[in-house]
Structure 1
């Protein structure tokens, strides 16, 4: 039987956080964290697959989707703090945590800062943000920002910025990206937060079992996978050869199957 998807809000100290959930509320929990500037919706097709065996929860990061922004400046640290508060609100003592791109960076902070709350990690297309990463990122142009235009051509420009990193003949994936991007006040804020995060100061505190998920056709993150295996001796890697930037909603069956194989092997 397919797990029913339900959406709700949690009242947290800074405001409301929106999330979607599937599965038995008494089953082990899996928290899913999305990339920037997406929302829970990139896990829409993944949730019922994980929810068949787990309590799967995909949250909108604070300030994205339908969640209120954090009380302080947007940062990986503040987003991880809100994620921990959501676990509290849902009465979840420990959860497996799955993060894609920015979501993976938030997952690292959550695992380091709130180690007792995180049972295991899945780092999907997650960059390692050390000083070399920060220098390289500072020299690159904005990833998604486009100037507004009176005739709406900036919407097409936003589409074209991402088009090369998405599979051909899948316009619904780009449309989902644009819809989420339009809801974010600062479309570049998530990328700046990742670029400024000092992960090298946290990584030694990450000791949980870890799966590094490499989307081989993701030029932004695929190259970081080998580095993760050096940094986290407890990690193992799984490849998705056709995976691109929108991996969870591009290949939800393969994504969910790979995650489930890892989660089911955990004690």
Structure 2
């Protein structure tokens, strides 16, 4: 565990594992670096991995001020600067994919290759989850909303054989004010006008059965980002990267390996 301090005075925690060229892994909304615990070792045969506790999560500071995906991207830049990393590959899932869009668009010289997983361009062009999904996540009955989220993240077959612990359901140590700030940051994301400016080679991954972040967002991103590749994982829900890791992780590594060295 290491820390750096951003220009606006927020202390950000980050974690580095493995050896080799760095791969930045960005977690979903209201989650810390443990989001990646189930799969980050998949990349250590060829890469080191760098995770970040977003402001408001984990061991980072938790200021009660507006957050945005652009601010989160600047925090990642602060971490790269602290490590002396000029350019890295970036793999963001869910809200982490929104942060990754901001990184690649606003800091193109810092992103060698980009993977966007189970994410959305946001704004009026993004495909929103249905009211039935929203309702299931707003249930007040104890445990009901958590169970609904589990079923949006994973298939019934996977849940039947994996009783937990689950690391993709949110940082349990987050105070209420930062949960609200994260929700607002994700909801206010709109990168539609930025996507054509992304110059990094890009792979878009999505589960075909994702209803939390509807699968229809994947082709929108792939069509909007110049030269982007699209891969849908049949039968996968939102946490495709964990449940379908034997397919998803090799796809990511193969894509990153195929990016020409001269892009670095």
TM-score (norm. length: structure 1): 0.83
2:256 to 242, 246, 263: 263
| Aligned equivalents of 1:177, 1:115: Cα separation in 2 | 29
Kindly indicate whether residue 197 of structure 2 is the aligned counterpart of residue 205 of structure 1.
yes
Distance 1:182 1:230, change over 3 A: same
Pick closer, same or farther for the CA change 1:159–1:137 going to 2, 3 Å: closer
Task: Work out the CA distance in 2 between the residues paired with 1:190 and 1:37.
Answer: 6
Q: How does 1:117-136 map to 2 (within 5 A)?
A: 117-133=110-126
- Segments of 5+ residues of structure 2 without an aligned counterpart are none
Structure 1 unaligned blocks of 5 or more = 1-7, 148-152
The answer to whether structure 1 residue 36 and structure 2 residue 36 are counterparts is no
Answer yes or no: is 1:190 the counterpart of 2:206. Answer: no
Q: Structure 2 CA distance, aligned partners of 1:12 and 1:143? A: 38
Select between 29-38 and 103-112 the one with higher mean Cα deviation.
Answer: 29-38
In 1: Cα distance, 2:5 partner to 2:116 partner: 26
**Deviation above 6 Å: which 4+ runs of structure 1?**
137-140
The residue aligned with 1:15 is: 10
Look up the match of 2:171.
180
Give the SS at the match of 1:121: strand
Equivalent-residue separation in structure 2 for 1:78 and 1:110 (angstroms): 10
- The answer for the alignment partner of 2:149 in structure 1 is 162
Task: State whether residues 113 and 202 of structure 2, in contact with CA within 8 Å, keep that contact through their aligned partners in structure 1.
Answer: yes
Question: What is the aligned-residue RMSD (CA, Å)?
Answer: 2.6
Q: How many residues align?
A: 250
Candidates 39, 56, 59, aligned match of 2:49: 56
Q: Larger deviation: 223-232 or 160-169?
A: 160-169
Map of 2:90 onto structure 1? 97
